[in-house]
Amino acid sequence: MPLTAYLILAALVFAIGLFGVLTRRNAVGILLGIELMLNAVNINLVAFARFRADIGGLVFTMLTIAITVAEVAVGLAIVIAIFRVRRTIEADHLDLLRG
């Protein structure tokens, strides 16, 4: 399969993730969208590493996955903390920063 196929797949995954982030009202759903976007990036990195025969892309992907895990842990912890205080995780209702 040519490189373009991998890139199109990554673009599709990224678009789905972005769509989820923009349309989901639930904070957990938004976090899931973000995960999709990050993994689209990972697909890109792995694809380029494979086709360019550059080990750097694989190493970078491992790093990204590790950071993603940490990010999810922190993100979910924040969502739980918000739920404890506000009794909701609907993004529309969390507008304390409105000007």
Contacts of 84 (CB under 8 A, 6+ apart): none
What's the min distance (Å) between Cβ of 13 and other proteins?
16
Decide if residue 32 touches other proteins (CB under 8 A).
no
DSSP-assigned beta bridge partners for residue 26: 90
Smaller CB separation from other proteins, 7 or 21: 21
Q: Identify the residue whose tokens are 């673009």.
A: 11
What's the min distance (Å) between Cβ of 47 and other proteins?
20
CB distance 36 to 16 below 8 Å: yes
Residues that bind other proteins (CB under 8 A): 18, 21-22, 30, 91-92, 94-99
